[in-house]
Structure 1
């Protein structure tokens, strides 16, 4: 089974158009926080880990990455316009992978 987490409906539609996706073998999830529970207060690390184990099947390879910042619209404002330089080296957070 495959699990894909992608919030952009156009990207999901394009992926499904290019690759056969059996709904019983490939589940699409819109918001990764629904799996990690990181948007809910009061969830312990153990509870979050168990929830992840329930929703991510056993796997040999796990691929994950951060959003593509040069194309991301998150945080766009007049002060932070699309034309502003967006490629910079700074800490953007931490990605934890569990297997």
Structure 2
């Protein structure tokens, strides 16, 4: 996951720019805290020492980047096959 984020970050900031307060490792960890532990962005931002809006914007970038590359961060893996279940709920 970290390699995907580093590649995407280098492409996005190829011309340079300001150094982020939160490293990519910490940003990935904060995003995983949000996804896995269901904590609020306010709590996570306080733990990492950044503003909530900054964490929200950057976490969304992490989620979008990982989904576009095919990496899942959910508890259940994504499957390529669709499972269909039919339930007959008619009364006799």
The structure in which a higher percent of residues are strand is 1
TM-score scaled by length of structure 1? 0.36
Whose Rg is larger? Answer: 2
Name which structure has the greater RCO, CA cutoff 8 Å, separation 6+: 2
TM-score scaled by length of structure 2? 0.38
The structure in which a higher percent of residues are helix is 2
